[in-house]
């Protein structure tokens, strides 16, 4: 496939053209919170790949971290976030997160989110690497679903246009090279449409599907990050992937997340001999996620690993979703340890933004998991990502509301060479290639990396890239994005010769001060650049 602004070639002729003032791409916590706030001033349209509920947000279990408890403060939250970030956090962004968090969560409650309460007071739980009980949850372990439900209800009650089953393929620009809108596959009509706007907010979530084992739903293929990269956006910290230590590991079952809150409430990790192998490690079961994930990976070389809920009273009440899902696979967590393993969970990197959500491309903003301002550093603190989505979506709305934008005109959109042949058949066996990419990324660019493994991953992915011709179908388009992001992860991971947070190199097993900087890459760069923030 050619290195180009576009995954598929297209022509300006024969496209349906739609206009809106602000386009929000994605309907997770970041996209919907941004849309709701922006709708006070702008005509807003949300484009989303499947139905409005689907995305990582809906699956979030443990909760949302926020310094609202009496014995807590934004300073403590700030300190814990920085400690988890392994020397790479953008301190100003962390300050904003911790300080604006309470106000944003209160707003979420006003918008109808019902967090669990005890004696009518908000009920806070504790998770790994948090010094305080500061994690709000809803319906036990259905926090994301409850937040999404509340936000969807508000969006539906306002004059916000939502287009479901609209797959964003690429960005389009005006004659000045500024973002003018997006190219979209309307999966209902099967037609490609152009959507033009004054400004575009990218909130398309993460890319866990690049890995064989992942807690992320099928749609998390990093489309928005890949499209932004093609358009010339800078990507930052793409080598930092968080692997969650505890996902259900059973043949034929999805890598269903067993929330960190389970260990927070006392569940223990055991090897096949029933030994607590985390006992001698600082933080034990609640050590940082990368430490726990690697300890489990090491154990799994010899034996399966289990999470034992037996010391919790009534785990079915506190973790109803985990309880019922495990029961579906024949495991009663109140009596039987659950077989678990690590799985790709969260992308610390993404489209590089400043603290106001601005990218290097005019009119393009990004927030949520697809964006990176360095707030999580090299390793995200548990339950900080829902808060990140809220707080930085809110920063974007502040920034956008103070600006004057001009609505893009179709005649000012840059023309393109090449005509899309609607009948073009893709070159790839999509299912086969998708599996190959996931295997390669898991084995060679996953929890434990080496120069040799990353080189092998890179050369295999380059071959796929060269041979790949997409067709106008979502699985093909996703595959193109997955290959291109796999290459970027392998490249940035290869160049970072140290271990830090979510990036572990067994050939460079320690953090090195020289590498205390963020990787930045944009299309056309021969080498990865580095910046300090
Ligand atoms: C199983 C699980 C448990 C988690 N638990 C927690 C937790 O307890 N606490 C916490 O803080 N975080 C948790 N996380 C992480 C957190 O849920 C996510 O980081 C966060 O929800 C991301 O929100 P978002 O709005 O950025 O993206 P998402 O919620 O993933 O939304 C992305 C949106 O973009 C759309 N989209 C994607 N591609 C396209 C395209 N090409 N065209 C159009 N639309 C597109 C999707 O359809 C979706 O609507 C968890 C994640 C998972 C997977």
- φ/ψ of 300, rounded to 5, equals -70, -10
Residues 248-270 have pLDDT tens digits of 999 888 899 998 889 988 999 99
Region of residue 66 (left: phi > 0; alpha: psi -120 to 50; beta: else): beta
Asked if residue 518 is part of any domain, the answer here is: no
CA distance 233 to 353: 10
- Would you say residue 409 has pLDDT above 80? yes
Per-residue model confidence as pLDDT tens digits over 283-336? 899 888 889 999 999 999 988 999 999 999 889 998 999 999 999 999 999 999
What would the DSSP string read from start to end of 394-409?
A: HHHHHHHHT-------
Residue 3 lies in a domain: no
Bridge partners of 350, per DSSP, are 236
Among 299, 381, 486, 498, which Cα is nearest to 130's? 381
Known active-site residue 149: no
CATH number at residue 431: 1.20.58.100
The CATH number of whichever domain residue 186 belongs to comes to 3.50.50.60
CATH number at residue 298: 3.90.700.10
Backbone torsions φ then ψ of 165, nearest 5 degrees: 55, 35
Average pLDDT over residues 2-28: 85
Is residue 2 included in any domain, yes or no?
A: no
Is the Cα dihedral 352, 358, 360, 362 positive or negative? positive
Closest Cα partner for 187 from 390, 398, 478? 478
- Are 67 and 167 found together in one domain? yes
Domains held by the chain: number: 3
Starting at the edge strand that comes first in sequence, how are the strands of the sheet with 305-308 ordered? 241-248, 338-347, 305-308, 268-271
Cβ of 394 closer than 6 Å to ligand 1, yes or no, is no
Model pTM score: 0.96
**163-177, 209-223, 464-478: lowest mean pLDDT where?**
464-478
The alpha-helical segments, DSSP class H, found in 158-288 are 223-231, 260-264
Give a yes or no: residue 9 inside a domain: no
- Give a yes or no: residue 465 inside a domain: yes
Tell me the per-residue pLDDT of 216-252, one tens digit each, with 9 for 90 and over. Answer: 999 999 999 999 999 999 999 999 999 999 999 998 8
CB of 128 sitting under 6 A from ligand 1 = no
Token output for 61: 């279990």
> Of all helices (H) and strands (E), which one includes residue 19?
strand 16-19
Which residue owns the Cα nearest ligand 1 atom 9?
383
Between the CA of residue 376 and those of 111, 294, 518, what are the distances in Å? 26, 19, 12
Question: Using one digit for the tens of pLDDT, what is the confidence trace for 20-60?
Answer: 999 999 999 999 999 999 999 999 999 999 999 999 999 99
Residue 142 shares a structural domain with residue 69? yes
65 and 197 both lie in a single domain:
yes
- Tell me if 54 CB under 6 Å of ligand 1: yes
Tens digits of residue pLDDT in 177-211? 999 999 999 999 999 999 999 999 999 999 999 99
Residue range(s) defining the domain that contains residue 39: 16-240+348-411
pLDDT of 410-458, one tens digit each?
888 887 654 445 556 666 689 999 999 999 999 999 999 999 999 999 9
State whether 392 and 330 are in the same domain.
no
Given the residues 230, 263, 289, 496, select the one marked as catalytic. Answer: 289
Backbone angles phi, psi at 104, to 5 degrees: -70, -40
């Amino acid at each position: 496939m050619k290195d180009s602004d576009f995954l598929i070639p297209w022509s300006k002729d024969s496209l349906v053209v739609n206009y809106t003032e602000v386009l929000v791409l994605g309907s997770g916590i970041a996209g919907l919170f941004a849309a709701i706030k922006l709708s006070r001033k702008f005509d807003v349209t949300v484009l989303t790949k499947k139905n409005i509920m689907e995305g990582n947000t809906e699956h979030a279990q443990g909760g949302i971290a926020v310094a609202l408890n009496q014995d807590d403060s934004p300073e403590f939250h700030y300190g814990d976030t920085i400690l988890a970030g392994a020397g790479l956090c953008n301190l100003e962004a962390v300050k904003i997160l911790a300080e604006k968090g309470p106000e944003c969560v209160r707003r979420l409650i006003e918008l109808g989110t019902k967090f669990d309460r005890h004696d009518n007071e908000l009920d806070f739980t504790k998770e790994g690497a948090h010094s305080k009980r500061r994690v709000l949850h809803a319906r036990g372990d259905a926090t994301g679903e409850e937040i999404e439900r509340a936000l969807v209800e508000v969006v539906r009650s306002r004059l916000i246009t939502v287009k479901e089953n609209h797959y964003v393929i690429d960005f389009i620009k005006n004659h000045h090279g500024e973002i003018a809108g997006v190219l979209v596959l309307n999966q209902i009509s099967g037609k490609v449409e152009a959507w033009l706007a004054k400004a575009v907010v990218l909130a398309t979530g993460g890319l866990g599907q690049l890995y064989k084992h992942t807690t992320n739903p099928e749609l998390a293929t990093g489309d928005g990050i890949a499209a932004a990269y093609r358009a010339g956006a800078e990507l930052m910290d793409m080598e930092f992937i968080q692997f969650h230590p505890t996902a259900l590991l059973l043949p034929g079952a999805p890598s269903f997340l067993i929330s960190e809150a389970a260990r927070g409430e006392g569940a223990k990790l055991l090897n096949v001999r029933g030994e607590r192998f985390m006992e001698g490690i600082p933080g034990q079961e609640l050590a940082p996620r990368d430490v726990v994930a690697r300890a489990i990976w090491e154990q799994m070389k010899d034996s399966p690993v289990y999470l034992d809920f037996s010391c919790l009273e009534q785990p079915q009440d506190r973790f109803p979703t985990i309880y019922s899902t495990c029961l579906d696979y024949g495991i009663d967590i109140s009596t039987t340890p659950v077989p678990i393993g690590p799985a790709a969970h969260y992308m610390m990197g993404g489209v590089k933004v400043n603290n106001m959500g601005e990218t290097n491309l005019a009119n393009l903003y990004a927030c949520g998991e697809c964006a990176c301002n360095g707030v999580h550093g090299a390793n995200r603190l548990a339950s900080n990502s829902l808060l990140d989505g809220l707080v930085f979506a809110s920063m974007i709305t502040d920034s956008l509301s103070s600006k004057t934008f001009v609505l893009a005109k179709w005649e000012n959109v840059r023309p393109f060479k090449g005509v899309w042949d609607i009948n073009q058949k893709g070159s790839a066996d999509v299912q086969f290639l998708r599996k190959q990419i996931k295997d390669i990324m898991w084995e060679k660019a996953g929890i434990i990396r080496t120069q040799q493994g990353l080189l092998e991953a890179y050369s295999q992915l380059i071959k796929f890239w060269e041979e790949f011709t997409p067709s106008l179908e979502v699985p093909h388009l996703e595959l193109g994005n997955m290959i291109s992001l796999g290459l970027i992860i392998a490249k940035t991971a290869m160049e970072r010769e140290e271990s830090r947070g979510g990036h572990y190199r067994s050939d460079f097993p320690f953090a090195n001060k020289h590498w205390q900087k963020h990787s930045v890459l944009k299309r056309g760069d021969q080498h990865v650049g580095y910046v300090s923030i």
